[in-house]
Amino acid sequence: MESKELKTTYYKDKDILYLQILPERPAKVEETRYGFMVRYDWDDPEVIVGFECLDFSLLVPHLAERRVLPDVKMRFDIEGASLKGATLKGVLIWAYERYVLKPLMVPREAFLVAQEAA
């Protein structure tokens, strides 16, 4: 199955994640549960061109629930990242780890300095 190139953008201050299938195109939006939205091509409403997620950090605990995510058969390559051939759920977990969890992690050097000082 061919992978689609996907651009990810996360707005931390608003906790919004945008996933845009490249090239970007005008779209109509349809919302599922938990503020997850599917973007469909404006001229061809059967073609998915991206996704949006409001309150992204609150969505992740619900990924296993039915009908939270649409049944998408596509695979994605993340623009500028090593993640290739990922499912939509895989992309969302990757984005959560990168944008939400990673900034919360204590850098290894800071941890070692704190341990030496104790």
Domain ranges of the chain: 3-117
Integer Cα distance of 81 and 109 in angstroms: 24
pLDDT above 50: residue 118: no
| pLDDT tens sequence across 3-23 | 999 999 999 999 999 999 999
pTM to 2 decimal places: 0.83
Contacts of 38 (CB under 8 A, 6+ apart): 29, 30, 32, 48, 50, 51, 70
Mean pLDDT across the chain: 87
Ramachandran angles phi, psi of 94, nearest 5°:
-60, -45
